[in-house]
Amino acid sequence: MVEPYAAVDIIKAKRDKNVLTHDQIAWVVDAYTRGVVADEQMSALAMAILLNGMTDEEIVQWTNAMINSGERMDFSSLPRPTVDKHSTGGVGDKITLPLVPVVAACGGAVPQLSGRGLGHTGGTLDKMESIPGWRAQLSNEEMLAVLTDVGGVICAAGDGLAPADRKLYALRDVTGTVEAIPLIASSIMSKKIAEGVGGLVLDVKTGSGAFMSDPAMARKLAETMVRLGKDAGVNTRALITAMDVPLGMAVGNALEVAESVEVLAGGGPEDVIELTLILAREMLDLAGITDVDPAETLRDGRAMDAWRRMVAAQGGDPDAPLPGAREFTVVHAESDGIVTSMDAKAVGVAAWRLGAGRARKEDPVAPGAGITLRAKPGDVVHQGDALMTLYTDEAPRFALALEALEGAVSVGPVGSTIERLPLIIDRLT
């Protein structure tokens, strides 16, 4: 087969800040998926895109090319309206776990295709895999069966969904091009559009623990993704939410599952409950379900029933004890006062160093490792009070985690200003 383009010409065009044509984009994404364009060539193109950006039309065409590299899913046979949520990720962000059963209990169908954690941000599949017996890999037929029966499923994306993205995502991670907004937006939206859902709510996080720590950049990413979704016929909206402080009180896989179950049982931290219900209401509105209060599903047990059925449908035992860590240590307050700030990224890095995260995609995670927070900004503490408890299977990891936490928590006199972003910073429709 004679190729219509040379990769080097496309690289040079973007290097020189030219606009790539529809055909150039379609070819280079397809050729990279086929192995005709080499990793080093796509690395150079990704860097050119990071440095020089893309027009709106280029981003649309790049996203379409990613979608066209694989299959599209079809949920039209479901008796429920389909709606999904995507979070750009953060520290303690376990919202998917209670959110999916809440929306399912209200009558929606949520095909939540999730990923694994890398670096200081946790992955939904890693959390779920701490449940004994639970499996992430489902066939399309199994996924449809769980959706039909329960109304919600959390699983890994199949190999056929946007395979170009799978290759490019791994490449971006090792070439310093993760932050390119056109590539982030097309990566997320190609998979979500290929899912074939009717509605999509984006939770774009900002703050120290977020992928996009700069609020202006987070907004630009959110605007780009909303535009891509709408252009593809998916009713899309976005919330920009805070990730300057960890969400909830648990950071780490099994610890976050336990906290999610606590929320489903009608308890749990206020911020996790609040964000779960805000996102649930947005999703239900997009699905046209406006006569149900999602908070009621937490009070009457319907969300917990949906959770248990969803876990069991994927081989998990919802009654089995979650794995714990072999070692723990406590970080104490060094003075009396009020907690004024807590660096989410530092907490995330510490949990990662304890074994809760991975440096490379193939690395295992320790399901019981992580951190339980005992105080957050606004809480009054006394000298010697516990600020957090660290858990790991390997005691030597404590020193590395404690190093990451140096200066992460500030305690000031009672009455000091509390440094926190509002939970919901903006809403884009």
What CATH number does the domain containing 249 carry? 3.40.1030.10
Spatial distance between the Cα atoms of 135 and 42, rounded to a whole number of angstroms: 33
Q: What is the band of 329 on the pLDDT scale with cuts at 50, 70, 90?
A: very high
Q: Is 174 domain-assigned? A: yes
Task: Report the pLDDT value the prediction gives residue 358, as an integer from 0 to 100.
Answer: 83
More confident site: 119 or 372:
372
State pLDDT tens for residues 47-81: 999 999 999 999 999 999 999 999 999 999 999 99
Q: Is 320 domain-assigned? A: no
Which of 187, 190, 208, 260 is an active site residue? 187
Spatial distance between the Cα atoms of 192 and 202, rounded to a whole number of angstroms: 10
Domain assignment of residue 26, given as a range: 7-53
Whether pLDDT at 217 is above 90: yes
Question: Rounded to the nearest 10 degrees, how much is the dihedral formed by the CA atoms of 54, 60, 62, 63?
Answer: 130
Task: Report the pLDDT value the prediction gives residue 178, as an integer from 0 to 100.
Answer: 84
Q: Is 229 domain-assigned? A: yes
Same domain, 115 and 253: yes
What φ, ψ does residue 369 adopt, rounded to 5°? -75, 150
Q: What is the band of 419 on the pLDDT scale with cuts at 50, 70, 90?
A: confident
What CATH number does the domain containing 403 carry? 3.90.1170.30
Whether pLDDT at 119 is above 80: no
Same domain, 142 and 244: yes
Residues of the chain above pLDDT 70, percent: 100
More confident site: 173 or 61:
61
Which of 165, 203, 244, 271 is an active site residue? 165
Spatial CA neighbour of 370 closest among 393, 353, 391: 391
Q: Is 375 domain-assigned? A: yes
Same domain, 266 and 127: yes
Whether pLDDT at 117 is above 90: no
Task: Report the pLDDT value the prediction gives residue 411, as an integer from 0 to 100.
Answer: 97
Same domain, 205 and 344: no
Which of 14, 86, 120, 166 is an active site residue? 86
Mean pLDDT across the stretch 211-229?
Answer: 95
Same domain, 125 and 179: yes
Same domain, 221 and 336: no
Q: Is 421 domain-assigned? A: no
What CATH number does the domain containing 22 carry? 1.20.970.10
Task: Report the pLDDT value the prediction gives residue 157, as an integer from 0 to 100.
Answer: 86
Same domain, 350 and 308: no
Same domain, 48 and 98: no
Q: Is 77 domain-assigned? A: no
Same domain, 191 and 246: yes
- Token readout for 52 is 């020089």
Which of 80, 116, 191, 237 is an active site residue? 191
State pLDDT tens for residues 247-305: 999 999 999 999 999 999 999 999 999 999 999 999 999 999 999 999 999 999 999 99
Whether pLDDT at 211 is above 90: no
Q: Is 15 domain-assigned? A: yes
User: Cα angle vertex 102, ends 258, 310, to 5°?
Assistant: 65
Whether pLDDT at 147 is above 90: yes
Between the two ends of the chain, the Cα-to-Cα distance in Å is 45
Same domain, 99 and 244: yes
Which of 85, 94, 120, 172 is an active site residue? 172
Question: Rounded to the nearest 10 degrees, how much is the dihedral formed by the CA atoms of 229, 290, 115, 183?
Answer: 20
Q: What is the band of 179 on the pLDDT scale with cuts at 50, 70, 90?
A: confident
Contact 328, 371 (CB under 8 A): no
What φ, ψ does residue 296 adopt, rounded to 5°? -65, -30
14 is catalytic: no
Whether pLDDT at 188 is above 80: yes
* pTM (predicted TM-score): 0.95
332 is catalytic: no
Q: Is 342 domain-assigned? A: yes
Coil vs helix vs strand at 134: coil
Contact 316, 305 (CB under 8 A): no
State pLDDT tens for residues 301-321: 999 999 999 999 999 999 999
Same domain, 305 and 332: no
Domain ends where: 313, 338, 371? Answer: 313
Task: Report the pLDDT value the prediction gives residue 159, as an integer from 0 to 100.
Answer: 82
State pLDDT tens for residues 357-391: 887 777 889 999 999 999 999 999 999 999 999 99
Task: Report the pLDDT value the prediction gives residue 132, as an integer from 0 to 100.
Answer: 98
Amino acid (one-letter) located at 202: L
187 is catalytic: yes
Same domain, 184 and 248: yes
Task: Report the pLDDT value the prediction gives residue 170, as an integer from 0 to 100.
Answer: 83
Per-chain mean pLDDT for the chain: 95
Domain count, the chain: 3
Mean pLDDT across the stretch 412-417?
Answer: 94
